[in-house]
A and B are shown apart, each in its own frame.
Chain A
């Protein structure tokens, strides 16, 4: 979190990040958002809440996650010194759990016995089902039928955790439609239900509170850099779907202006094909899912169907703070294709014995592509946002192997 005196105090009191963010929802939800905002402000300032959060991150999630020097990858690429922030080692296998623990604690404080979530790849659904079990909350997860088909392992996993998974048949039947359906559930059951949004998007205060819960990634990375290398890194690289793992890593470095921030979007089959999910590279400003931000949309304002090999990046919007960081030039957003991400997936397996999620493989792929332009003295931290076990089926299919 930026300190008092930071030249970067976002959002504004009404939840805007520059021209982005805000609160664009049905009136019925405003009361719940007001309540959440007040409760979150209290919790944020309450040492007891912070202690509970830290305790669960340590003992349930397994934090801190290591900052690992990828020696053989560094040697192979012959460029910068590459470090991996190992969010893949968290309980449930991705950064998503950090936010879910925080929000489950908020749900408990609000006395709400039921939580709902949307999920694309299933990682956020699994993380939500996990904390629901941990805190004894009823849990319902919305998932597009397209995603249910490509992430069957995670669907079963959620069921084992006691959650019910609701298939969403509307629209494009993917993550954005799951989010719509979760909003419809919330508007109907707002009295007893907390909606655990899985990324730094949605109406205020979600982008802020998800960022804050995920900022543990950057806080750890910052002190690990100082401890292990004696200095701050030259660049941070993270994949951007909605943008929570990226913002969690970036945010504690936001005032360190010498540290370059690079978000990597999914270029899918290639930016020029239109079959991608690179919102910050190719989108226009609009309003979806409660916030103003860059969106993939057509001239009539209809939201486009996106494509990425990685379900977790396959989203036509992006968190509003990223849109602002793009506008002010503090962060840079590039995109890598399915093919580049797959090559990086294989490379990291074989050079380091680490299987990254296909989402995280996008961040690795950017470093592979840019390595020759980054000096050998540079230190790069890649956010390895999750592990790739969930993607083995997808990769095997591409290899023509039936498991």
Chain B
């Protein structure tokens, strides 16, 4: 077991985890923050997207050494964040959800995107979300939701 300190959803945390644990494993299995999903564990689906220092990354690819000292925001933290909650509302309004398994990752990615690009067009939105897979919706409502969220 090793100790890791970082900031999680604006609170400092110290966790003990076996070495080589990924951030996804720590979030889900150690901290019981289950909003972040595991769709592949290999950086291929985006279901585990979290923000590290404001950047969208796949939590399943981050081993804890890399997380040490950084600022992590998960879907749990984003749902109450001003921009995050706008995105959540837009997903609701557009019905950009079916089974919901991709949704936390989509919302985290979309929020990261909108925090850097407040007036995105469809192409830019698609380009940013290319790593987030959704098997249910066919994506068009997700694109609409992001554009809708950018309008406030």
Task: Tell me whether A and B are bound partners.
Answer: no
